[in-house]
């Protein structure tokens, strides 16, 4: 298979393809290393991709398995929608919305969990687990249930009720931790050395992260094997942001795509914006946020594992990492819904608000093709929009309706 080893991103030491995530030499993060020399030429690869299944497994040649895994829940091949109304509202040329809420558990996390659970089964694990801010919890619980595996899901105790319920329903062992996500992650890291479990975002993190690059493959394929000019992506740990770029880079190296890497703009919430703050300060490392406070809880990672790599990507592509306030997040949710019919969770509100900020700032050229990455479903964070929805209560008479409900301009 093309995957040949785990390699340290810092010192490039190599390790076998087992459940490891940190370099023993320099403590740097490990990632999957590939040798694609045996693959077909670019035209044949494009045809093979297009003939593949309607899921992330159409990209199996670029994932760390000797053959295409059989999974119970299929993730990927979500809609990429051109939104002329959103582009017009923002005053930019071309906006495409990648709606990854259209996955089995309604977030992009189905991609990473599909890969991680398949690898866990291959390595012989019977229990999968994770530290999560919500969406990953949903995905791990669902995919473990479908695969017949036990699961343990650890989340901050103040997580949105919708995400708690949408996790527990699958019969997982749901553990609420009194602390923020970084506290949860530290606990899971400790437990991963004490229990023979596959923690998808700890000891299986190199494989888990590979699922995110399928978003890059998919965007390029859906654009006719072309690259956008700019992508706007939410940043929590920074893994999704950097792995979409990895997908583009991999296909550029193989000749499936032509051109150069798009401009990458990252989006964070002001209440937890370690990467945005580092970018603004010109720093090379992120100062951890000890007490995150934002409605965008799925992005509230105060000590992002891939923050330094996100900074590097934004800078080398001429992009940025921006942060927006909670009221802007809510406006972003509403803007996307009103112009596209897509109801996003708070993370998508962050991303849409940053897109609006970029447009207002004049950063986006009139001829640019921009892709906005939406990672989760709005029904998961209903409380965020509770105060902005107006309900007109009337009696069952035309007179009551006329007296109560104002007619929009131009409507009779």
Q: Are residues 255 and 370 in the same domain?
A: yes
DSSP type of residue 268: E
Do 290 and 236 belong together in one domain?
A: yes
Please indicate, yes or no, if residue 396 is contained in any of the structural domains: no
DSSP β-bridge partners for residue 129: 152, 199
Q: Are strands 3-8 and 14-15 parallel, antiparallel or unpaired?
A: antiparallel
Residue 132 lies in a domain: yes
Q: What is the CATH number of the domain that holds 218?
A: 3.40.50.1100
| Strands of 14-141, DSSP E | 14-15, 30-34, 80-82, 94-99, 127-131
Say which DSSP state 65 is in. Answer: -
pLDDT score of 411 more than 80: no
Q: Are residues 338 and 294 in the same domain?
A: yes
Q: How far apart are CA 116 and CA 294, in angstroms?
A: 29
321 in the same domain as 253: yes
Q: Are residues 266 and 384 in the same domain?
A: yes
For residues 239 and 197, state if they share a domain: no
Please indicate, yes or no, if residue 15 is contained in any of the structural domains: yes
DSSP-derived secondary structure for 20-34: --B-TTT-PBEEEEE
In terms of DSSP bridges, do strands 173-177 and 320-324 run parallel, antiparallel, or are they unpaired? unpaired
Task: Look at strands 320-324 and 80-82 and give their pairing.
Answer: unpaired
Which residues are bridge partners to 34 per DSSP? 3
**pLDDT > 80? residue 44:** yes
When pLDDT is averaged across residues 216-225 and rounded to a whole number, the result is 98
Confidence band of 125 (pLDDT split at 50, 70, 90): very high
User: Which of 210, 244, 259 is the C-terminal boundary of a domain?
Assistant: 210
The answer, yes or no, to whether residue 72 has pLDDT greater than 90, is: no
pLDDT at 412 over 70: no
pLDDT tens by residue, 277-334: 999 999 999 999 999 999 999 999 999 999 999 999 999 999 999 999 999 999 999 9
Segment (H or E) for 173: strand 173-177
- Between CA 178 and CA 85 the distance in angstroms is 43
Q: In this structure, are 366 and 227 located in the same domain? A: yes
Q: What is the mean pLDDT of residues 242-251?
A: 98
Tell me: do 255 and 384 sit in the same domain.
Answer: yes
| pTM assigned to the model | 0.94
> Range of 24's domain?
1-36
- The predicted-structure confidence for 373-382, as pLDDT tens digits, reads as follows 999 999 999 9
Q: Identify whether the C-beta of residue 102 lies closer than 8 Å to the C-beta of residue 375.
A: no
Task: Mark whether 122 and 169 lie in a shared domain.
Answer: yes
Does one domain contain both 293 and 178? no
Instruction: Indicate the residue among 175, 210, 245 that finishes a domain.
Output: 210
Range name among 84-93, 205-214, 243-252, 379-388 with the lowest pLDDT average: 379-388
For residues 293 and 372, state if they share a domain.
yes
Domain assignment present for residue 400? The answer is no
- β-bridge partners, 156: 177
Predicted pLDDT at 300: 93
The count of other CB atoms within 10 Å of the CB of residue 226 is: 13
Same domain, 153 and 92: no
CA-CA distance, 130 to 205, in Å (whole number)?
10
Residue 63 lies in a domain: no
- pLDDT attached to residue 168: 95
Q: Compute how many other C-beta atoms are within 10 angstroms of the C-beta atom of residue 262.
A: 24
Which pLDDT belongs to residue 410? 65
In the chain, the number of structural domains is: 3
Mean predicted lDDT score pLDDT of the chain: 95
Q: What is the pLDDT of residues 157-214, one digit of tens each?
A: 998 889 999 999 999 999 999 999 999 999 999 999 999 999 999 999 999 999 999 9
| Cα separation of the two ends of the chain | 65
Q: Which of 210, 226, 252 is the last residue of a domain?
A: 210
What pLDDT is attached to residue 1? 72
3-state secondary structure of 128: strand
> Is 411 contained in some domain?
no
3-state secondary structure 196-240: CCEECCCCCHHHHHHCCHHHHHHHHHHCCCCCCCEEEEECCCCHH
């Amino acid at each position: 298979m093309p995957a040949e080893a785990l390699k340290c991103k810092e010192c490039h030491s190599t390790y076998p393809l087992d459940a490891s995530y940190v370099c023993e030499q320099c403590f740097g993060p490990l990632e999957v290393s590939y040798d694609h020399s045996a693959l077909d030429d670019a035209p044949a690869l494009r045809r093979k991709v297009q003939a593949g299944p309607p899921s992330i497994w159409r990209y199996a040649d670029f994932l760390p398995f000797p053959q295409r895994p059989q999974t119970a829940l299929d993730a990927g091949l979500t809609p990429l929608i051109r939104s002329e109304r959103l582009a017009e509202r923002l005053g930019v040329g071309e906006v495409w919305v990648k709606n990854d809420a259209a996955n089995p558990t309604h977030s992009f996390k189905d991609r990473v969990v599909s890969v991680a659970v398949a690898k866990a089964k291959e390595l012989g694990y019977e229990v999968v687990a994770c530290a999560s801010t919500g969406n990953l919890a949903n995905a791990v619980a669902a995919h473990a249930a479908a695969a017949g595996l036990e699961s343990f899901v650890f989340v901050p105790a103040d997580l949105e009720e919708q995400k708690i319920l949408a996790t527990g329903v699958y019969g997982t062992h749901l553990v609420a931790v009194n602390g923020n996500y970084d506290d949860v992650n530290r606990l899971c890291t400790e437990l991963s050395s004490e229990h023979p479990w596959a923690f998808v975002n700890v000891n299986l993190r190199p494989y888990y992260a590979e699922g995110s690059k399928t978003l890059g493959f998919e965007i390029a394929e859906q654009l006719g094997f072309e690259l956008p000019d700019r992508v706007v992506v939410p940043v929590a740990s920074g893994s999704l942001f950097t792995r979409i770029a990895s997908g583009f880079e991999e296909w550029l190296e193989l000749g499936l795509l032509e051109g150069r890497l798009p401009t990458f703009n990252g989006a964070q919430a002001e209440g937890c914006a370690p990467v945005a703050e580092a970018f603004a300060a010109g720093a090379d490392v992120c100062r951890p946020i000890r007490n995150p406070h934002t409605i965008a809880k799925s992005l509230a990672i105060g000590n992002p594992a891939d923050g330094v790599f996100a900074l590097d990507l934004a800078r080398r592509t001429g992009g940025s990492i921006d942060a927006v306030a909670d009221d802007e997040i809510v406006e972003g949710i509403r803007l996307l819904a009103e112009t596209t019919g897509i109801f996003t969770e708070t993370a998508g509100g962050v991303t849409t608000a940053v897109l609006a900020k970029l447009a207002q700032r004049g950063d986006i050229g009139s001829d640019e093709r921009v892709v906005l990455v939406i990672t989760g479903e709005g029904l998961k964070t209903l409380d965020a929009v509770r105060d902005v929805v107006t309900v007109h209560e009337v009696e069952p008479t035309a007179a009551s309706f006329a007296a109560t409900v104002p007619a929009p301009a131009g409507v009779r």
